[in-house]
Amino acid sequence: MTAKLLLFLAVLKLTSSDPMPEPEPNVNVNVGVNVNDNNNGKGGLSCVFGDTCYPDGCIIEGTCLLLKCCNGHWKCLGNEPRPGCGKCEAHGDPHMVPYESNTVLYSIVQPGNFTLTQPGFSNPELFGVNINFENCSWPSGSVVSCIRSITYYEPGLIITLELPPPDVDILDKCDQSYAYANGPNCSITLWVNGEVRPTPTGCEADSFTGTDGNVLVFKQKHISKALNLYCIAIVGSKGFSMALCQHSGDFPWFYVYAMPSLKKNPSLLYGLCDVWTGTPPIAPMDYTTRSGTTTTNKDVFVTSWEGALPLPKTS
Ligand SMILES: *[C@@H]1O[C@H](CO)[C@@H](O)[C@H](O)[C@H]1NC(C)=O
Ligand SMILES: *[C@@H]1O[C@H](CO)[C@@H](O)[C@H](O)[C@H]1NC(C)=O
Ligand SMILES: *[C@@H]1O[C@H](CO)[C@@H](O)[C@H](O)[C@H]1NC(C)=O
């Protein structure tokens, strides 16, 4: 099944050499229009996202991370997600903040390949986000788990963002000075359908074509303006956007954003990011396992989501 998804149709490689822009304030997220017009009479080239062609100047629809069509190239608009999007994140070693919480609900202390979020319980689903955790250690020698890679898949595309192996003290390798200088030991590798591709160097997106449309990958500043760090972001055509970010004095972070259309009650989404129903969690937290049952035991919950397919890529 997974192997059949590997059909790689085409790669539209756009140049990406622009410096990081400052976020544009007060973005009007409602200006995107879906018309198949090659230049909208403005003279600029159109851009494709998903299976839709957008005229020059339009802001993308159906995504949480916003991009604007600038004469044939998608450019990111800051790093704040669209209002109303679901947010799941993890930082540290790693402390998970699921969709329905704005605080850490549990930490993961085991290595493995896990489902982060997907629409349903099958392994795999039609699209989703998986993550690979590996053992890593604090300078004190205590073993925790670190984010090694994050994988987004949809029909015809498997895209992984991979960090260096956390086999030695990742705090030294990925500290702020190295990260800001894009140091070789803390760079993020981009894999598309099993092949290494150049990691985007700016906010202008590279575009990869799957069976259902185009998916975008670009570099953005970390959402925390206090940090001179960067993230590599993926915007899928099915309503998920995500970013893998370097972090200062700590382990890497990831963010997954889900479009408001994916919020349902009962939930459409399941995985380590847990459900997204719009109902605040009540303590003690009920987590939903891969078998569809709920549990207050976070180890049972976490283990149930192990063994995710497709496997996150590591070199
Ligand atoms: C996770 O997947 C990778 C393949 O990318 C594999 O090498 C690794 O052994 C897997 N980890 C576990 C704990 O199964
Ligand atoms: C990860 O660390 C734990 C605790 O030290 C150890 O038991 C386990 O074998 C390690 N797993 C891997 C895949 O290295
Ligand atoms: C990268 O790692 C190697 C081996 O661990 C080390 O010798 C080198 O100094 C590191 N470079 C940077 C820029 O951190």
Q: What pLDDT score does 234 carry?
A: 97
176 CB near ligand 2 (under 6 Å): no
How close is the Cα of 176 to the center of ligand 3, in Å?
14
β-bridge partners, 268: none
Q: What pLDDT score does 138 carry?
A: 64
Task: Name the closest ligand to CA 136.
Answer: 2
Task: Name the closest ligand to CA 312.
Answer: 1
135 CB near ligand 2 (under 6 Å): yes
Q: What pLDDT score does 249 carry?
A: 52
How close is the Cα of 311 to the center of ligand 1, in Å?
7
Ligand 2, atom 13: closest residue by C-alpha: 111
Nearest atom (ligand 1) to Cα of 307: 14
How close is the Cα of 111 to the center of ligand 1, in Å?
9
119 CB near ligand 2 (under 6 Å): no
Q: DSSP per residue over 100-123, as a string?
A: T-SS--EE--S-EEEEEEBSSSSS
Pairing status of strand 112-117 against strand 214-221:
unpaired
Ligand 1 binding pocket mutation candidate from 115, 123, 130, 132 (most atoms within 8 A of CB): 132
Q: What pLDDT score does 296 carry?
A: 94
- What's the rounded Cα separation, in Å, for the pair 6 and 305? 23
Ligand 3, atom 9: closest residue by C-alpha: 185
- Give the pTM: 0.82
Q: What pLDDT score does 37 carry?
A: 45
Q: Are 50 and 24 in contact (CB under 8 A)?
A: no
Structure tokens at 116: 């982060």
Nearest atom (ligand 1) to Cα of 113: 1
185 CB near ligand 3 (under 6 Å): yes
Per-residue pLDDT of the chain (315 residues; tens, 9 = 90+): 333 333 332 222 333 333 444 434 333 333 334 344 444 445 689 999 999 999 999 999 899 999 999 999 999 998 889 999 999 998 877 889 999 998 888 888 789 999 999 999 999 999 999 999 888 766 666 777 888 899 999 999 999 999 877 654 555 455 444 343 344 456 789 999 999 999 999 999 999 999 999 999 999 887 766 666 788 999 999 999 999 987 655 567 899 999 999 999 999 999 999 999 988 877 788 999 999 999 999 999 999 999 999 999 887
b/e sequence 163-173, b meaning 16+ C-beta within 10 Å? bbebeeebbeb
Q: What pLDDT score does 226 carry?
A: 61
Q: Which long-range contacts (CB under 8 A, 24 or more apart) does 184-187 make?
A: 186/246
Domain boundaries, the chain: 86-304
Tell me which residues have their CB closer than 6 angstroms to ligand 1: 111-113, 132, 311-314
Q: Are 174 and 252 in contact (CB under 8 A)?
A: yes
8 Cβ neighbours under 8 A, 6+ residues apart: 156, 157, 192, 193
173 membership: H or E segment, kind and range: helix 170-173
- What's the rounded Cα separation, in Å, for the pair 310 and 304? 16
Our CA dihedral for 62, 68, 70, 74, rounded to 10 degrees, sits at -60
b/e sequence 225-240, b meaning 16+ C-beta within 10 Å? eebebbbbbbbbbbbb
137 CB near ligand 2 (under 6 Å): no
